[in-house]
Amino acid sequence: MNRILVCTNFEKDTSLSFTLQVLSFLREHGAEAAAFLPLIPEERLPADLPEGILCPDPEAYLRSADLLLCLGGDGTMLHNSKLAARCGVPMLGINLGHMGFITELERDDMGRLAEVLQGRYTVENRMMLDFEVKRDGETVCSGFGLNEAVVARRSPAHSIHLTAYGDDRKISDYSGDGIIIATPTGSTAYSMAAGGPIVEPTAENLLLTPMCAHSLTAKPYVLAGDRHTSVKLVRGDDGEAMLLVDGEDSCTLKTGDLVYVRKSRYVTRLIKLRKLSFYDIVRHKLN
């Protein structure tokens, strides 16, 4: 492994001191490394930034790279998972944030990057989701993500009314804050906080978790990964409902809209170095 793109969350490394340490470490160990620094004002860039270190076209660079190294937290990993998946490149995260459930290493583990350069790692595939919003038969929004697609209300003053389907067969009606359709990777995120089950991340399932439903019988569903799920916004004031994918606002919904979610052809490939089991990580990270 000798060609690496380093992506930094500027809010987690405002001086870029750690980023420069990582780049220096990689280059000293014989790797070609470039930096992708999104949303960083030019005036905040260090004056001593090595010439040629910045990557002007990260997607083009990644198509011939061996690794996308993310410095930040789970949000940084989620945001960049789509780029890595499109390019077929594995990801490795160094946690500079709080939870770091998807990231593999902590800041003090930088020296373990030598193991990656030597090929001493495994790769774990994680299922992703495709989503599409249909309005009057026309597609108004589409894309894919790693954790979850959420149909949610914008305002706390109004409930939204939804119907969920699996392979075009009605599952249930829901009235409340909305519904989460998650992957196993996303089962330990928003879905878990809403009362959904924890699912081993290498499984291939779809999790349907209602949020604050006005019913004693509204329960989460765990579906087979090949199910084609959909959610219809039955009633909700225009502009009061939205679709969020991996925490990012993707689309404002209108009454009658159908949100289709299914297993994606893309996968997120995560570099694994530690010998911890998934159960160890859950106990450690979630107490």
Cα distances (angstroms) measured from residue 205 to each of 59, 74, 94, 129: 29, 21, 27, 10
Select from 93, 95, 99 the least CA-distant residue to 107: 95
Cβ atoms 114, 138 nearer than 8 A: no
Instruction: Please state, rounded to an integer, the average pLDDT across all residues of the chain.
Output: 92
Share of the chain above pLDDT 70, in %: 99
Eight-state DSSP code of residue 284: H
Walk me through the domains of the chain, giving residue ranges and CATH numbers.
Answer: 3-120 (3.40.50.10330), 128-266 (2.60.200.30)
**Catalytic annotation on 108?**
no
Tell me which of 13, 48, 74, 280 is the catalytic residue: 74
pLDDT at residue number 238: 61
Count how many Cα atoms sit within 13 Å of the Cα of residue 270 in the half-sphere of its side chain: 23
Select from 160, 277, 267, 157 the least CA-distant residue to 213: 160
SS (H, E, C) 81-132: HHHHHHHCCCEEEEECCCCCCCCCEEHHHHHHHHHHHCCCCEEEEEEEEEEE
Cα distances (angstroms) measured from residue 59 to each of 5, 52, 55, 66, 129: 10, 17, 9, 12, 20
pLDDT at residue number 237: 61
pLDDT at residue number 276: 81
pLDDT at residue number 236: 64
**Residue 152 parent element (H or E):** strand 148-153
pLDDT at residue number 50: 74
Positions in the chain short of pLDDT 50: none
CA 277 to CA 259: how far, in whole Å? 35
pLDDT digits (tens, 9 = 90+) for 168-215: 999 999 999 999 999 999 999 999 999 999 999 999 999 999 999 988
